[in-house]
């Protein structure tokens, strides 16, 4: 937790900040900053995310952590999720998986599905706690039923593999589809893969095209294997766009690239 005197110092600057516009920020980003200063919890989290990863201001994880703390202290679930992310990856603080799990749990208790999902990931992998697939499944089931697309994808994987639940590939396919329709690139890739295996190549190509812009390196490489197996001539434009993305990848994905 950030020291109270540090938070107090930030609050002490708010009146001055209200009257001084940031000269480098677009109007939409400046509006977020001003709302954060005025105490709006959503914008406090958004401004913290801007300080973590933005082309408009220098990266400042210490200040981001303060803004997340302010909103979390007011009982705002997404702020606890972001404090969990900070502890998970060491943004503005030491990496501490136990503390990350505590904040994710607090976020989930406040109804934040990203916090529930992130707690599920730690629980599934045994990070900062003993591995517990049954408890992870319950977390993903709840988040999926509440409309969280990434949790839908993982729930589908549990059903496909029969982890802690009877294997049901038809149900898995239905959840992959819902995840894909919800915008999760992993769900889109997995649904496309299932469609391709069922011989529905054109439909599969449409979902791979949707997954391409946001996919991380592991999914891009999996897509490349699938499209190479199908034959690049099946979708030359998609294949070319995929190669362009692969060629532009850094050696590893930036942890900040996919903030929740």
| Six-digit token string for 126 | 């045994």
Residue-level pLDDT at 180? 98
Residue-level pLDDT at 193? 97
Residue-level pLDDT at 241? 97
Residue-level pLDDT at 24? 79
- Ramachandran angles phi, psi of 259, nearest 5°: -60, 140
Residue-level pLDDT at 167? 98
> Is 238 in contact with 212 (CB distance < 8 Å)?
yes
- Identify the segments of the chain with pLDDT beneath 50: 1-7, 13-19, 252-259
Residue-level pLDDT at 260? 54
Task: Say whether 136 sits in a helix, a strand or coil.
Answer: helix
Nearest-angstrom CA–CA distance, 84 and 95 = 10
CATH code for 28-188? 1.25.40.10
Any idea where the domains of the chain sit in the sequence? 28-188, 189-248
Residue-level pLDDT at 190? 98
């Amino acid at each position: 937790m950030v020291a109270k005197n540090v938070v107090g110092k930030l609050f002490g600057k708010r009146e001055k900040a209200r009257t001084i516009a940031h000269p480098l920020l677009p109007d939409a980003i400046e509006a977020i900053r001003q709302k954060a200063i005025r105490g709006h919890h959503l914008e406090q989290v958004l401004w913290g995310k801007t300080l973590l990863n933005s082309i408009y201001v220098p990266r400042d994880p210490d200040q981001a952590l303060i803004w997340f703390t302010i909103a979390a202290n007011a009982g705002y679930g997404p702020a606890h999720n972001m404090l969990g992310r900070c502890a998970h990856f060491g943004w503005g603080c030491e990496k501490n998986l136990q503390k990350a799990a505590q904040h994710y749990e607090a976020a989930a208790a406040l109804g934040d599905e990203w916090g529930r999902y992130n707690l599920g990931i730690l629980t599934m992998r045994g990070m900062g706690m003993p591995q517990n697939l049954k408890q992870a499944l319950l977390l993903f089931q709840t988040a999926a039923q509440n409309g969280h697309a990434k949790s839908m994808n993982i729930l589908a994987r549990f059903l496909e593999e029969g982890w802690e639940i009877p294997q049901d590939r038809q149900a898995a396919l239905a959840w992959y589809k819902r995840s894909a329709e919800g915008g999760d690139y992993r769900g889109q890739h997995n649904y496309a893969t299932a469609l391709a295996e069922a011989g529905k190549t054109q439909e599969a190509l449409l979902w791979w095209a949707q997954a391409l812009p946001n996919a991380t390196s592991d999914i891009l490489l999996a897509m490349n294997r699938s499209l190479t197996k199908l034959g690049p001539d099946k979708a030359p434009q998609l294949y070319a766009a995929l190669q362009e993305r692969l060629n532009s990848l850094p050696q590893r994905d930036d942890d900040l690239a996919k903030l929740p």
